[in-house]
Amino acid sequence: GSELADRPEVWELEAYYIAQAVANYILTYSPEKVILWGGVMHQEQLFELVREKVRDLLGGYVHHSMVEEHIADYIVPPALGENPGILGAISLGIQAKKN
């Protein structure tokens, strides 16, 4: 990915593929939020491209403010930084221990 950072056509195509998956998840599961991470998502320009393409793919089919007006708050990177998987698991374990 780092070698392709200056090739916008690569990221347009990658964003389209990711947006197809996200649009399918939205239509299938109606998630409260979509959190994208992994190596390729370190290319920060992808988030806006993915959001735009998700809107295009949904074509107005989903009428919800999070998709129509607040998509930047709907499709997001993880709030836990670079190790969201393990930090999320630890957080869930701590919450379970408290209950």
pLDDT digits (tens, 9 = 90+) for 19-55: 999 999 999 999 999 999 988 888 878 999 999 999 9
Spatial contact of 76 and 84, defined as CB atoms under 8 Å apart: no
CA distance 51 to 16: 10
Helices 8-29 and 45-58 cross at an angle (nearest 10°) of 50
Report if pTM > 0.85. no
Residues facing 34 on adjacent strands? 75
Give the single-character DSSP code of 73: H
pLDDT, greater one: 42 or 17: 17
